[in-house]
Structure 1
Amino acid sequence: MSLINTTVLPFKANAFHNGEFIEVSDATFKGKWSVLVFYPADFTFVCPTELEDLAENYAEFQKIGVEVYGASCDTHFAHKAWHDTSEAIGKVNYPLIGDPTGKLARNFEVMIEEEGIALRGTFVINPEGEIKLCEIHDNGIGRDALELLRKVRAAQYVAAHPGEVCPAKWKEGEKTLSPSLDLVGKI
């Protein structure tokens, strides 16, 4: 069964954010659009490139009312240590959720049990707490924050414009489609 259109399952976790430890829960994702990005582990190789890319584009997510969260099976203490010692992670100003028990990773079906780490999973969650986008891929493949931003904008557009859909490579301001019998076989 797909996670698409399901509600985020209950959880509570600690996160490192702006020099402090905070609590994050399923309720945190309600009331605004959220992006949750799982990565395998702190102090690794591809992970800092992705988290830095998100940090460099964080203001663009904020402009459209989206909060970004990073998550791994490390502790919030490890997140702080990584933030304090890595130039790339030092740029991160969105919450980094610690998931040492793997509960959150299991809730989002990205846990690699035999390794105790998460797959690279990306989730876009609407203000009602429903998962609208889910991408999970091999840990050797890094993600692109600008492509994620495009997809979030598309999800927001579709939510705000019932009856319209966004075609491939759609960008904000471009033409959308209104599915109807008239379009069948003409695209």
Structure 2
Amino acid sequence: MALINTEIKPFSATAFKEGKFVDISEADVKGKWAIFFFYPADFTFVCPTELEDLADLYGDFQKLGVEIFSVSTDTHFSHKAWHDTSPAIGKINYYMVGDQSGTITNNFDVMRPGVGLADRATFLVDPDGVIQFMEITSEGVGRNATELLRKTKAAQYVRNNPGEVCPAKWEEGEKTLAPSLDLVGKI
């Protein structure tokens, strides 16, 4: 699980996006911010609530130059069927990646051994293809897209402002910290 600050591994897959099947690879990620949003399976219960939450904020992520790739070990055909039949999933305009080979899921080390399903996991990848943060939750615990957006803004701020860090609960426009010897023991 030592994936932070490592470069993503090569992959190729087919995704469903805006009514079409599209081929994608790690080359489509380089040069932009990307979120890989792994979930266990289509046609389930917690997953559609998370994916809908993310769909509701997709425009905000795009304004930050962030592309979203939701990933499960289902096929791209299953993603299309789910998109066409579920009101929540029908809102999605980001990539719904079919990873039936498990390559991407294994590359990010979130394949459940012996089960063939992804853990509920989120990764933010910077424009250099390097993983900047990750979050993995248990099966029954859904994620929050608003918090993911906040963390993404913080990661972008830190990248664009070397020597500064974002404290807990930091929101865009708030004060940051500049770590130094003078700051030690004063927080």
Q: What TM-score comes out, normalization by structure 1 length? A: 0.99
Q: CA deviation at 1:147?
A: 0.1
- Please name the residue that 2:82 is paired with: 82
Spell out the pairing of 1:1-187 with structure 2 (5 A cutoff). Answer: 1-187=1-187
Any idea what SS the aligned residue of 1:61 has?
helix
User: 2: CA distance between counterparts of 1:95 and 1:160?
Assistant: 27
Any idea what SS the aligned residue of 1:121 has?
strand
Q: Deviations over 1:114-142 (max 9, x none)?
A: 11100011000000100001111212110
Q: Which amino acid aligns with 1:135?
A: E
User: 1: CA distance between counterparts of 2:101 and 2:150?
Assistant: 32
Q: Which amino acid aligns with 2:76?
A: H
Q: Which amino acid aligns with 1:184?
A: V
Percentage identity across paired residues of the two chains: 63
User: 1: CA distance between counterparts of 2:139 and 2:92?
Assistant: 20
Any idea what SS the aligned residue of 1:162 has?
coil
Q: CA deviation at 1:89?
A: 0.2
Q: Which amino acid aligns with 1:88?
A: A
Aligned residues: 187
Q: Deviations over 1:31-66 (max 9, x none)?
A: 111111000000000000000000001011011111
User: 2: CA distance between counterparts of 1:104 and 1:32?
Assistant: 18
Q: CA deviation at 1:113?
A: 2.3
RMSD: 0.7
Q: Which amino acid aligns with 2:93?
A: N
Q: Which runs of 4+ in 1 moved over 4 A?
A: none
User: 2: CA distance between counterparts of 1:25 and 1:113?
Assistant: 24
User: 2: CA distance between counterparts of 1:172 and 1:30?
Assistant: 25
User: 1: CA distance between counterparts of 2:182 and 2:116?
Assistant: 51
Q: What TM-score comes out, normalization by structure 2 length? A: 0.99
Q: Which amino acid aligns with 1:74?
A: D
Q: Which amino acid aligns with 1:6?
A: T
Q: Deviations over 1:125-172 (max 9, x none)?
A: 000100001111212110000000000000000000000000000000
Once structures 1 and 2 are overlaid, which stretch shifts more, 45-54 or 110-119?
110-119
